[in-house]
Amino acid sequence: MSDDHVYLTLAEGHEDDTRWAYGTGFEDPLHGVDTAVPEGVDAGELAAQCVALADDALVGAQRLAEWITRAPELEEEVALANIGLDLLGQARLLYTRAGQVDGTGRDEDAYAYFRDPADFRNVTLAELPGGDFAFTVVRLLVLSSWRLAHFRRLTGHPDPVLAAVAAKGVKELTYHRQYAAQWCVRLGDGTDESHRRMRAALEQVAPYLGELHAAHDVRDEVADDLRQVTGAAGLTLPVHRPLPGRGRAGEHTEHLAPLLTELQGVARAHPGATW
Amino acid sequence: MTTKHAAETPPPDGPDGLQEHFDTTIARDQRVEPRDWMPDGYRRTLVRQIAQHAHSEIIGMQPEGEWITRAPSLRRKAILFAKVQDEAGHGLYLYSAAETLGADRDDLTERLIEGRQKYSSIFNYPTLSFADIGVIGWFVDGAAICNQVPLCRSSYGPYARAMVRICKEESFHQRQGYELLMTMMRGTPAQRGMVQDAVDRWWWPSLMMFGPPDDASPNSARSMAWKIKRHSNDELRRRFVDMTVPQAEKLGVTLPDPELRWNEETGHHDFGTPDWDELTRVIKGEGPCNAQRVQRRRTAHEEGAWVREAATAHAARQAARAEKGAVA
């Protein structure tokens, strides 16, 4: 019966297996790409830059994944998953690049699963616990605005791989920022309760802006985005005393370790396993 | 072609003419579309079936979604994240298909969280290890494919078209699940043990996904007459077993049924009888995770109420501002 075709051929090989996901059916993810480090680029610095940006993305994706089956509406389940998947994809390419240039030959999973919290270089804003939907969209707005401005600059980076990852990321981050901005406006302009929650979320996020600018100084672009969105939402960005966050130096809040325990638990329980 | 729109010939007036036109549409294997006249029972049956299907997609996100944050490789994390996202998308299509029949998504959600509408019993079982992710792909998506591929020819157009896309994605998920199991079976002894354990736990509940035996399935005959449903429960169950047995052999796992054997005479496998009392209990709400699943959905819905209210208030204010602007 023709209906059964897809099921009957399940156990056979498929030529299109690479459709499954990045990392399926090949050993060398950047096969055919010139992966030599260009002249004038410090390999150690490039690797550190890739790891830091990958850590921001992986930790951000993990927090978004926590929303799955808990979002306020099914459309938001789909959108938050989309954004989480984009960030996860960025993390994977950046870890892969780091492993090629830092001399260790590590693969993406070695970075994600077998480093301890103090080895992670993500900014601390990314690791703060989920909070409510207002906090989620405010954090997403700030992080995507900041990352987008930085990625725009990286599209001109002398390393062609990092430049290509950034170029791909710009398209994705433009959508993330748009999604977050729309919700910030809806919530700021919505009901008394949503307005109150937005004000609280801005209070919570604002002190972390200093750490972002210390990592990559794109403060003018971020300030423009925030001014535009808070203006349309009837909100004001609170004046804040910046927290001395130093995630880029491996100094984290108490929230990163439990996040990594959950992320890494199964992988670490089965050394030598392949998945 | 069997997909021709039923309304090409205008239906004759009067209830008898409408009924006759509907009957002819079904008899000719043509599609019934949202604006066509249809008997109330047909409409009710479809709303119930499509809503249950949509609820199953949404509740079905939970047992797998639990593992997104814990997936043991980034590749598996991406695959699982995307799969669960697809399920949310399927739920959305299906709620939309139900809305073409006059149902309201909010109302259907209320019915789900108040326990007035069901979802597939399979999602009331727990996911205890990462191997469960593979076995759910292989068995549960596999059983869903067996159930749903014939629905691509269902007599109701919007449902049939939604099923075409959903089935493509389900078969993709099934292959991903089977490939995970293949990889795990090539791994450590502990991984192989996890796979066999997951197979043992999910086999019988998967066979129950096809519903009660034909002689105890009260609605089946009418649904088949209306071509909402195309094959009987027992027929689909037998086909699932026949297709799965060689795949289990290739994988190197044992299906937990001592009565399972090939029957030369019938050209099918003989297999044991699922515990129908267990199915009845799970459907009644007494399965291992029923309360937890519905509670999670209820909590998400209730905790998200302020967000939905804010969006509605903002939209209303926007509309008012636009109107004011137009007047000025």
- State pTM to two decimals: 0.93
Q: Is residue A267 part of a domain?
A: no
Q: With 80 as the cut, is the pLDDT of residue B133 above it?
A: yes
Q: Is A21 contained in some domain?
A: no
How confident is the prediction for chain A on average, in pLDDT? 92
Q: Is A34 on the interface with B (CB under 8 A)?
A: no
Query: Per-residue confidence at B253, pLDDT binned at 50, 70, 90?
Result: very high
Rounded Cα distance, A143 and A172, in Å: 13
Per-residue pLDDT of B295-307, as tens digits, reads: 999 999 999 999 9
Within a domain: residue A69? yes
Cα B5 to Cα B31: distance, rounded to the nearest angstrom: 6
SS3 content of chain B, % helix, strand, coil (to 5): 70, 5, 25
Which chain B residues are within 8 Å of A78, Cβ to Cβ?
A: 85, 88-89, 92
pLDDT recorded at residue B7: 47
CA dist., res. A202 & res. A223, Å (int): 13
Q: Do the domain assignments include residue A261?
A: no
Separation CA A95–CA A114 (nearest Å) = 13
- Best of B58, B253, B302, B307 to disrupt the A interface by mutation (most A CBs within 10 Å)? B307
Tell me, yes or no, whether A30 lies in a domain: no
Q: Quickly state the pLDDT bin for B328 (edges 50, 70, 90).
A: low
Predicted pLDDT at B60: 97
Contacts for B22-26 with beta carbons within 8 Å, 24 or more apart? Answer: B25/B155, B26/B155, B26/B226, B26/B227
Contact B92 A133 (CB under 8 A): no
**C-alpha pair distances (Å), A106 with each of A24, A62, A92, A121, B9:** 17, 21, 12, 17, 67
Residues of A in contact with B187 (CB under 8 A): 270, 273-275
pLDDT of B77-89, one tens digit each? 999 999 999 999 9
Mean pLDDT, all residues of chain B: 92
Query: How close A137 gets to chain B, by Cα (Å)?
Result: 11
**Section B198-227 average pLDDT:** 88
pLDDT at B192 over 80: yes
Give the DSSP letter string of A57-74.
HHHHHHHHHTTTTTSSSH
**Interface contact flag, A95 B74, Cβ < 8 Å:** yes
pLDDT value for A25: 66
- In a domain, residue A76? The reply is yes
Task: Give B266's pLDDT tier (boundaries 50, 70, 90).
Answer: very high
DSSP state of B254: -
Residues in chain A closer than 8 A to B297 (CB atoms)? 69
Q: How many CB pairs lie under 8 A apart between chains A and B?
A: 194
Is pLDDT above 80 for A56? yes
pLDDT at B1: 40
**Res A34 pLDDT > 90:** no
Q: Which two tokens stand for residue B15?
A: 């209830």
pLDDT-derived band at A6, boundaries 50, 70, 90: low
Please indicate if any CB of chain B lies within 8 Å of the CB of A274. Answer: yes
pLDDT band at A21 (very low <50, low <70, confident <90, very high): low
Position B229 scores a pLDDT of: 72
- In this prediction, residues A70-80 reach a mean pLDDT of 97
Is the residue at A119 inside a domain? yes
Per the CB < 8 A criterion, the answer to whether B282 and B116 are in contact is no
B261: DSSP letter: E
Q: What is the pLDDT of residues A135-165, one digit of tens each?
A: 999 999 999 999 999 999 999 999 999 999 9
Chain B contact set for A62 (CB, 8 A): 69
- Does some domain include residue A135? yes
Question: Do the Cβ atoms of B84 and B136 come closer than 8 Å?
Answer: no
Domain of residue A239, CATH code: 1.20.1260.10
Q: Which two tokens stand for residue B310?
A: 């804010």
Q: Which residues span the domain enclosing A79?
A: 37-244
- For the residues A27-54, what does the mean pLDDT come to? 87
**Number of domains composing chain A:** 1
